[in-house]
Each structure stands twice: as structure tokens, then as C-alpha cells.
Amino acid sequence: MTITAKNSNTISNVCILSFHTLYCLIEGGGNSPMLASKEKWCILFSPWMTSISAKAITRSLLLYHLVFPAKYRRKVFSESVENTLRDVCVGISERYEIRFIEIGVDEDHVHFLVQSVPSISITQLVKTIKSITARQLFRIHPEIKQMLWGGNLWTSGYYVNTVGQYASRDVIEKYVAGQG
């Protein structure tokens, strides 16, 4: 695996550490022979990788597998709509404490692997993602609104599972990435 840092240096073979090791590194201020430079520390905790959310006195790692079906199970997610959806999700990540680890799009539903903080409830998380994505997709792709006569992109229901209870993060990430 090769990851490019903001300063355009390339670091190869970045290893994923256990959560216990990450916690020890955080508590130790990041001083470790495993982390030879600040760039590696920044890459390890980049917004697109799973990291422990650190607040004043709490540490959390909350991952959710969400599935949102399109209204009436209409096949509205073309390749261009999928690309727009991914861009909208990047915008959501920049404004809210919501990180999209993986997005898997099928023709009539979308899988999200999302990380958030404890102060955002599941209901609030779902409401934020559904409302912003629907509004932006309808604005950029008006043809979707014509296919959905009720004016809603998503069904009122959704599926949510905490990652780790029934499957590991890696299993769900591969499953979500393989959708579509």
C-alpha cells in the first residue's frame, strides 16, 4: 500500500496497528521508534483512515455500517450519480464529525462504512447524511427527482450495524467496497 502525504513525500508499507498500540502511542504523545516522523503520524490518522477520535477526556472508535435504499427501490445510482454522491460525502466529512471510510453503491441502494463521535446519535447521523445527499443529488442530477415522484431520494427506513459485533471492520469494508 502506498500513501502520499500532503507534502508529496511517498511512504510505502504503512502498517496498521492494533487499537491498544494506537492508544499507547496517543497517551505517550506519539514518541515511538515505529513513528520516525510527524508525517507518518499524520498519515496514520488521516481523515480517510479509521482513527481513534480524541476529545478532551474521551477516546472513541465508533464505526457503523449503514444501508440506505433508494425510494421505491428505483435504480437511480448511475456512475455519474455515484461520483457526485462520493463528492457530497467528502463535503459532509469536512463540515461534520462524520468520516466515510468506504462507500459502496448498487443501482438501488448504498452502503456506507462511517465513523463518528459519541455526541452524534445514530438517528442524527442518518438524518444528516440522508438530507444533505438527497438535496445535493437532486440539485445536481434533476433526472433523479423525475424518477422518484414522491420527492424523496431515500426510503424512510435504513439498516445500521456497529462494526465489530458480527464481523470485523476489514470484512465489512471489503463487502461494502464490492457493492455495485
What would the pLDDT profile of 113-126 be if each residue is shown by its tens digit? Answer: 999 999 999 999 99
Assigned fold of 60-177: Alpha-Beta Plaits (3.30.70)
Catalytic residue among 23, 72, 158, 175: 175
Q: How far apart are CA 95 and CA 113, in angstroms?
A: 18
Mean pLDDT of 92-108: 96
Q: Which region among 37-46, 86-95, 101-110, 160-169 has the lowest average model confidence (pLDDT)?
A: 37-46
Would the pLDDT of 33 be above 80? Answer: no
The pLDDT mean for the chain works out to: 75
**How do residues 46-85 score in pLDDT, each as one tens digit?**
333 456 776 677 888 899 999 999 999 999 999 999 999 9
- Assign 141 to helix, strand or coil: coil
Return residue ranges of the chain for CATH 3.30.70.1290: 60-177
What would the 3-class secondary structure string for 96-114 be? CCEEEEEEEECCCEEEEEE
How many distinct helices (H) and strands (E) make up the chain? 6, 8
Measured CA distances, 132 to 87, 105, 149 (Å): 12, 17, 19
Residue 64 among the catalytic residues: no
Please give the model's pTM, rounded to 2 decimal places: 0.66
Band of the pLDDT at 151, cuts 50, 70, 90? Answer: confident
pLDDT for res 166: 58
Lowest mean pLDDT among 23-37, 67-81, 166-180: 23-37
User: Which strands make up the sheet holding 109-116, listed edge to edge?
Assistant: 98-105, 109-116, 62-69, 159-162
